[in-house]
Structure 1
Amino acid sequence: MSFPPYAEYKDSGVAWLGAVPGHWEVMRFKNSIADCRNGIWGDEAIGDENDIICIRVADFHRDAGLVDISDPTFRNVREQDRQSRLVVDGDLLLEKSGGGEKQLVGAVVRYTHPDPAICSNFVARMRLAEGMSSSFWTYAHAAAYAVRLNYQSIKQTSGIQNLDQTQYFDELAAFPPLAEQEAIAGFLDREVGKIDSLVTEQERLIALLKEKRQAVISHAVTKGLNPTAPLKDSGIEWLGQIPAHWEVVRLGNLYQEAVRTGSDELPILSVSIHRGVSDYEIPDEDMERNVARSEDRSKYKRVQPNDLVYNMMRAWQGGFGTVQTHGQVSPAYVVAQPTRTLRSEYIEALLRTPCAVEEMRRHSRGVTDFRLRLYWDEFKDIKVALPPSDEIDAILAAGAAIVEQFTALEATSQSAITLLAERRAALISAAVTGKIDVRTVATQSAEMETA
């Protein structure tokens, strides 16, 4: 669907705005704001009258431009400290500290909840001036963020990005009359909502494809490829019945723990829940959060192709994989070396089945999930079903074909999501900078909704 332009334009003199409708004003963002206050972190909640919802950057639903308090954080803030900082329905919240190389600080979201709240010290509350639509200005800030208008206002210290609010608020924006702001916001609410629904459908499809892929692979590595093969009871609760010609064996009979000293020449490989073992050294900025690197590489463990490596603290979450290249891994990882001819990719695929993951969790030791660790002595006692080597080859080949097929389907959906996101951003930008005139269609849509 195409939308007409305005009848008359003027040059805004601002690169990111371009030409704007002749009757719009061009002013600084700060002219849309009546008051801006930095947040406060307060103290731990204690259950008294001073406990209040505290909005963190983690509560920013960036795509929707809204605050998500489905899992609220409560902090204890005295009345005199909170009164000037209260966040109420319609306020905008600015991320002023945080961000990263791939996601700049400076996102803006809107608070749309009836309960008053405060925001953390990494967030600033913006209360809009009279005659300003909070929904419109959420979209306007989103359009500015999309073109990285905030980038030149970012100061970085100790790895944390801080937004110079004064500099950012001095950036120029387009100011339509209030009635037009509301019409544009209503139009975008409807049109963006349609796009978001399509994105949700594609995301749901991707989730179903991943689920189906895992189910097919799980069946292959636990029951084999021959649906008519005779079965037997494995004697292991998590395995259930397995093909009669498969053997049940302890991992300790297939692997031995290997402790080989690392060296400066070898790359440091990482073990990811999603990717398994990397086949090259991961840059520091791409390392998982809370993973630190030592300068002394002799402390690392050397690994070789076909080793099975797992993270003691995250094995039950999928933190393991098969090594594809010579390298070294963190001393926090356990390295298992096959003691017989065996393709570790098969054991990895088997251990990624939901039942096996739960079995590893059962063998892990710790008071809470956060502290669970799977030590070698427990890992080696886990029993698995092992097909003959030629059948392992066939299962892995079938699994690779399944992964390729489902990955292609997922890529198609992901491409659709990317195109929808581009369409969404372009529509928001066109509307809030006046490249399209949506007043008529906004009025018609509103009338249809009330009819």
Structure 2
Amino acid sequence: MSEVEIKQERGWKRYPAYKDSGVEWLGKIPEHWEVKRLKYISRLTYGDSLSGDTKGLGDIPVYGSNGLVGIQRALAPNTFAPCIIIGRKGSCGKITYSESCVFAIDTTYFIDARTVNSSICLKWLFYVLSLLELDKSSQDTGVPGLSREFAHNQLLPWTGLIQQQAIAQFLDRETVKIDTLIAKKERLIELLKEKRTALISHAVTKGLNPDAPMKDSGIEWLGEIPEHWEIMPIKFALAIPITDGPHETPELHDEGIPFISAESIKNDRIDFDKKRGFISPEEHKRFSRKYKPQYGDVYMVKSGATTGNVARVETEEEFNIWSPLAVLRPDTHITTTNFLFYAMKSKPFFYSVELSWSFGTQQNIGMGVISNIRIVIPPLTEQQAIAQFLDRETAKIDTLVTKTRISIDKLKEYRTSLISAAVTGKIDIRENLTPSPN
């Protein structure tokens, strides 16, 4: 289903008459509906502890506060099917629905046929609960986790079983359409990212001239390169040896000099909104004796989950960095900032990083290892042309990715608003379908 088709179906009818629910988040509800506390509709049952020796291959899904966490092989499920699992600790308030029997662990509550009366459709209740923002319990009380008393006292819209079933069936149908479209758009983003990487990799290893004479690079995963290009360890293309930030934890302040680390290297840029905090001018001066950021430097994350991420320094403003970032300053007689950046964004370079990193508590790669990774170096004029080409072409792809993400966000907003409209009675879906059994 296309977005246009979804928009065309938005002209849902309203109920003939409404009344004030007396609940702020509900507003007005259909005149024949009621408002009830959750404890008069259902009760939350605590999940059970699960010992480590029962986890492994099996056929019983195990659910924690954030959803499916694994498979159980020994004990029987502790819920009936279908069931609702609610995060109690950790991802408190997260709502998950399962059509099958599961084992809900002790960081959760669950609701199944044993804990609701016969006038309740569990799938309808799942949709209602998903709107309650139960995670606010710990924020409001200051106590970690979701209080069962808090959840039981939540006020919900209530209508008869037949209409509950109709609402659930309607939302199942409509959300599947939206989810399918979202999945297609997410796949499009994946393909665009793959195309972007392939474009960069080809340009920095093969050049822009398809008729250029080629030679064997002598590197299996690199293949042929233009005959007049060179291959060298990256350290020979740099003005200074690879360095990094201080190997100490500075005192952070509310103002001063921005201090960044690995989390700031995001989407090929330095995101100063993700800075660690600020350091004092005195600390900045002291740290700058080892390394002072300079426009045109290239940073690579060398430890942690984002090892290999790269960004250029594109500001003259003062800031400083921490030790998880490796600094590469190009020798302008050999390479340019932009070409070096794209070379480090290529698939062959990242493959070399992956082959070279080590694992402790987290993946990391040493500066000496980075120094010896080989890159392809064209003449400077070609480097400039390649970088300009990639700036232009990657910008086009990035624009498409951004537009697609905005479209996904709008679809997710519509999905939430549609669920809200159906379960609070803002739209009348009774003519749309025939209710199915619970």
Are residue 350 (structure 1) and residue 348 (structure 2) matched?
A: no
SS in 1 for 2:110: strand
Alignment map for 1:6-155 (pairs within 5 Å): 6-33=15-42, 35-45=43-53, 53-59=61-67, 69=68, 72=70, 74=72, 86-99=78-91, 105-114=92-101, 116-121=102-107, 123-127=108-112, 128-130=115-117, 131-145=119-133, 151=136, 154-155=139-140
2:63·2:85 contact (CA, 8 Å) conserved in 1? Answer: no
Q: Which moved more, 1:432-441 or 1:336-345?
A: 336-345
Q: Which moved more, 1:12-21 or 1:105-114?
A: 105-114
Counterpart of 1:421?
412
Q: Which amino acid aligns with 1:355?
A: P
CA-CA distance at 1:276 after TM superposition: 4.2
SS in 2 for 1:267: strand
CA-CA distance at 1:53 after TM superposition: 4.8
Listed one character per residue, the Cα deviations across residues 399-444 of structure 1 (whole Å, up to 9, x for unaligned) are: 111122112222222232222222212211111111222122122x
SS in 2 for 1:357: helix
1:174·1:433 contact (CA, 8 Å) conserved in 2? Answer: yes
Counterpart of 1:361?
354
Consecutive unaligned residues in structure 1, runs of 5 or more: 60-68, 100-104, 286-294, 447-451
SS in 2 for 1:54: strand
1:311·1:333 contact (CA, 8 Å) conserved in 2? Answer: yes
CA-CA distance at 1:317 after TM superposition: 4.7
2:66·2:94 contact (CA, 8 Å) conserved in 1? Answer: no
CA-CA distance at 1:135 after TM superposition: 0.5
- For residues 396 and 177 of structure 1, the distance between their equivalents in structure 2, rounded to whole angstroms, comes to 64
2:166·2:433 contact (CA, 8 Å) conserved in 1? Answer: yes
Task: Pick from 185, 199, 213 the counterpart of residue 230 of structure 1.
Answer: 213
- For residues 273 and 215 of structure 2, the distance between their equivalents in structure 1, rounded to whole angstroms, comes to 44
Q: CA RMSD in A?
A: 3.4
Instruction: Compute the TM-score of the two structures, normalised by the length of structure 1.
Output: 0.79
Q: Which moved more, 1:223-232 or 1:408-417?
A: 408-417
CA-CA distance at 1:211 after TM superposition: 1.5
Cα distance change of structure 1 residues 46 and 203 upon mapping to structure 2, 3 Å threshold: closer
Q: Which amino acid aligns with 1:30?
A: K
Q: Which amino acid aligns with 2:124?
A: F
CA-CA distance at 1:40 after TM superposition: 4.2
- For residues 239 and 129 of structure 1, the distance between their equivalents in structure 2, rounded to whole angstroms, comes to 62
CA-CA distance at 1:335 after TM superposition: 2.6
Are residue 257 (structure 1) and residue 242 (structure 2) matched?
A: yes
- For residues 176 and 414 of structure 2, the distance between their equivalents in structure 1, rounded to whole angstroms, comes to 12
SS in 1 for 2:272: coil
Instruction: Compute the TM-score of the two structures, normalised by the length of structure 2.
Output: 0.81
2:242·2:371 contact (CA, 8 Å) conserved in 1? Answer: no
2:57·2:73 contact (CA, 8 Å) conserved in 1? Answer: no
CA-CA distance at 1:174 after TM superposition: 0.9
CA-CA distance at 1:50 after TM superposition: 12
Counterpart of 1:323?
313
Task: Pick from 225, 230, 242 the counterpart of residue 247 of structure 1.
Answer: 230
| % same residue | 29
Consecutive unaligned residues in structure 2, runs of 5 or more: 1-8
Are residue 386 (structure 1) and residue 377 (structure 2) matched?
A: yes
CA-CA distance at 1:52 after TM superposition: 6.9
Q: Which amino acid aligns with 2:327?
A: V
CA-CA distance at 1:152 after TM superposition: 6.0
- For residues 199 and 48 of structure 1, the distance between their equivalents in structure 2, rounded to whole angstroms, comes to 32
Counterpart of 2:294?
304
Counterpart of 2:3?
none
- For residues 156 and 73 of structure 1, the distance between their equivalents in structure 2, rounded to whole angstroms, comes to 34
Q: Which amino acid aligns with 2:293?
A: V
1:28·1:171 contact (CA, 8 Å) conserved in 2? Answer: yes
Are residue 187 (structure 1) and residue 170 (structure 2) matched?
A: yes
Q: Which amino acid aligns with 1:338?
A: P
